[in-house]
Structure formats: structure tokens, C-alpha cells
């Protein structure tokens, strides 16, 4: 009888693990580490730059190349960089895990410049420059997005 209870418990745990694995596909909500750095004037500490690339299968919505680490620069919406469109000024900037491939690539690169700036002792960045390259292959239905971001790391004035 005791062995039967152990076998049933094991089966239930295994079933729960399997269900969890199935739910973590492309349609599941993304999670990750999000960091934000301020933008402004200060004492320049050095230049920082980073690049990131992701691909998205337009049919399956599968995104590859995502590091799970996302960075934002205050007052620079990711959508403005990736689409060129300014968001509604009444809308508060959100620092959440991005859901589309272009914003994922951009925030992956920004996360890296934040880490590099922090290593220099920076509390902010200025002179931020971004470049987004998008290439779509209609045969494979895969889009590749490459983003490069550079900035000057600064110690912000108090």
C-alpha cells in the first residue's frame, strides 16, 4: 500500500512537470532580468557599446538569440528606437520584458551597455546612438534583427 502511494505521488509530480514544460513554449509570457539606467549630463567616464541579434520565425513566432536580460535608458522608449515612432507622450514609459523581436534585440544590447557603464563606475549615460538593421527572408519567413547601441558612460551630477 505504501509503495502504491509513492508511485501515485511520483506520477502526479511527473505530470505537473510535463504540463509546466508544455506551457513554456513561444506563446508563454517571457520573463527575465530588467535594468534601467538614467540619461543625463555628468562627468564622462568612457564610451560603452554593445550589439545584439535575434531572429524571429514569423510562422511559429519563435524568437532565438534572446539573452533574457533587458535594459532601458530613461526617456528613450524601445519602440521609438525600433520603429521610429514616438509613443503617446501621456503614456508612462514601461520597463517590462519586451514581447517583440526588435525590442528584445534593442533591450539585450542596452542591458550590456548598462553593465559596461556600471563597471566604469557610471550612474548614467549620455549621447546614446542606436542602429537597427532588419533583414527578412520571405522564403524561410525568418527575420533577423541586429541592434548596435553606444553611449558615453557618465557620473551624473547630483
Cβ burial 47-66 (10 Å sphere, 16+ → b, else e): ebebbbbbbbeeeeeebebb
Q: Quote the pLDDT of residue 12.
A: 56
pTM: 0.77
Enumerate the domain spans of the chain: 32-156
Residue (of 71, 96, 81) closest to 146 by Cα position: 81
Predicted pLDDT of residue 17: 53
* Residue 103 CB neighbour total at 10 angstroms: 22
Determine the pLDDT at residue 9.
59
Output the pLDDT for position 157: 84
Q: Tens digit of pLDDT per residue, the chain (158 long)?
A: 555 556 555 555 545 454 443 333 333 455 779 999 999 999 999 999 999 999 999 999 999 999 999 999 998 888 878 877 777 777 788 888 998 999 999 999 999 999 999 999 999 999 999 999 999 999 999 999 999 999 999 999 87
pLDDT of residue 30: 58
In CATH, the number for domain 32-156 is: 3.30.110.70
Neighbours of 3 (CB within 10 A): 7
Is residue 110 within 8 Å of 71, Cβ to Cβ? Answer: yes
pLDDT at position 131: 95
- Biggest distance spanned by C-alpha atoms of the chain: 73
Which pLDDT value is given to residue 4?
57
What pLDDT is stored for residue 25 in this prediction? 36
Give the C-alpha separation, 104 to 61, whole Å.
Answer: 13
Find, among 21, 23, 48, the residue nearest to 37 by Cα: 48
Q: Please name the residues in contact with 101: beta carbons below 8 A apart, sequence gap of 6 or more.
A: 54, 55, 56, 63, 143, 145
d(CA 70, CA 96): 8
Amino acid at each position: 500500500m505504501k509503495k502504491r502511494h509513492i508511485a501515485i505521488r511520483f506520477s502526479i509530480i511527473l505530470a505537473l512537470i510535463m504540463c509546466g514544460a508544455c506551457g513554456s513554449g513561444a506563446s508563454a509570457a517571457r520573463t527575465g532580468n530588467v535594468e534601467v539606467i538614467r540619461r543625463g549630463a555628468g562627468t564622462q567616464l568612457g564610451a560603452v557599446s554593445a550589439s545584439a541579434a535575434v531572429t524571429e520565425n514569423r510562422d511559429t513566432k519563435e524568437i532565438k538569440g534572446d539573452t533574457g536580460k533587458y535594459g532601458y535608458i530613461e526617456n528613450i522608449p524601445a519602440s521609438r528606437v525600433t520603429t521610429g515612432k514616438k509613443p503617446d507622450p501621456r503614456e508612462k514609459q514601461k520597463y517590462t520584458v519586451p514581447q517583440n523581436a526588435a525590442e528584445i534585440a534593442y533591450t539585450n544590447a542596452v542591458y550590456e551597455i548598462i553593465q559596461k557603464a556600471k563597471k566604469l563606475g557610471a550612474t548614467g549615460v549620455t549621447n546614446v546612438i542606436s542602429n537597427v538593421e532588419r533583414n527578412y527572408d520571405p522564403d524561410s519567413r525568418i527575420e533577423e534583427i541586429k541592434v548596435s547601441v553606444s553611449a558615453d558612460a557618465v557620473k551624473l551630477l547630483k
